[in-house]
Amino acid sequence: METVKNLKQVNILKYFLVIVLSSVLLAISAKLKIPFYPVPMTMQTFVVLLIGACFGWKLGGTIITFYLLEGIVGLPVFSGTPEKGSGIAYFVGPTMGYLLGFVIAAMFCGVLKFNKNIIFNFFKLVLSVSIIYFLGVLWLGTLIGWDKPIIDLGVTPFLLAELFKMALLTIIVTLFNDKLSVLKRWM
């Protein structure tokens, strides 16, 4: 009986550490700006999908939700914080759709099975990241008005950077797909 209790405590600690360390990695990826034309690139979408691919839909969704809650309570974990505001005021701003898309995209990516087929893996990741942009555009259009060039503002500037990130992530999930499935089972 004592062994079962100890095992449960170890599992809780394992999950807690994975959630906290992954949310820290996501916060760091939001702050690292890589010069890219026409808009600087962060590695957030890369890390969001990597979390989903590594930990599966349940834990991936939990990690991203924890990250969002950190930002909502005022921790400067989002890309534009603290210089563009923080907390719930920042969260409900123009990027809210993208941020909520992180959760759905990580969960969707976590359900997918990656294999040695680099082409299929690439399209699975593009579909996953498209969820982020779809929800981002929906919110952006609702917030600033559909009479504005929403796609030009919320998608087009990021396409080249996303292509690069999805290509890099495709290589990683293709090379390490057997290790990802082991990691999902371990969690």
pLDDT at residue 97 tops 80: yes
pLDDT at residue 121 tops 90: yes
- Alpha helix (H) ranges present in 32-79? 44-72
Beta bridge partners of 41: 34
Helix (H) or strand (E) holding 174: helix 159-175
pLDDT value at position 181?
A: 67
CA 100 – CA 149 distance, rounded (Å): 21
What's the average model confidence in pLDDT over 162-182?
89
pLDDT in tens, 2-14: 676 666 777 888 8
pLDDT value at position 62?
A: 97
Least confident of 10-24, 33-47, 51-65, 78-92: 33-47
pLDDT value at position 1?
A: 59
pLDDT at residue 41 tops 90: no
The residue type of 187 is: M
Average per-residue pLDDT in the chain? Answer: 90
- What is the gyration radius of the CA atoms in the chain, in angstroms? 17
What's the average model confidence in pLDDT over 58-74?
97
pTM of the model: 0.91
Angle at the Cα of 184 (from 75 to 33), degrees rounded to 5?
Answer: 35
CATH code for the domain of 137: 1.10.1760.20
Which band of pLDDT confidence, cut at 50, 70 and 90, is reported for residue 174?
Answer: very high
Q: Which residues contact 29 (CB under 8 A, 6 or more apart)?
A: 42, 43, 44, 46, 47
Q: Which long-range contacts (CB under 8 A, 24 or more apart) does 136-140 make?
A: 136/95, 136/97, 136/98, 136/101, 137/97, 138/97, 139/94, 139/96, 139/97, 139/98, 139/100, 140/94, 140/97
pLDDT value at position 66?
A: 98
What's the average model confidence in pLDDT over 35-58?
86
pLDDT at residue 46 tops 70: yes
Number of domains in the chain: 1
Which band of pLDDT confidence, cut at 50, 70 and 90, is reported for residue 177?
Answer: confident
What's the average model confidence in pLDDT over 66-86?
93
What's the average model confidence in pLDDT over 22-46?
86
Report yes or no: 87 and 74 within 8 Å, Cβ to Cβ. Answer: yes
Q: Which residue has the higher pLDDT, 183 or 159?
A: 159
Q: Where are the beta strands (DSSP E) in 61-181?
A: none
CA distances from 99 to 13, 150, 179 (A): 27, 17, 28
Q: Which residues constitute the domain of residue 130?
A: 2-186
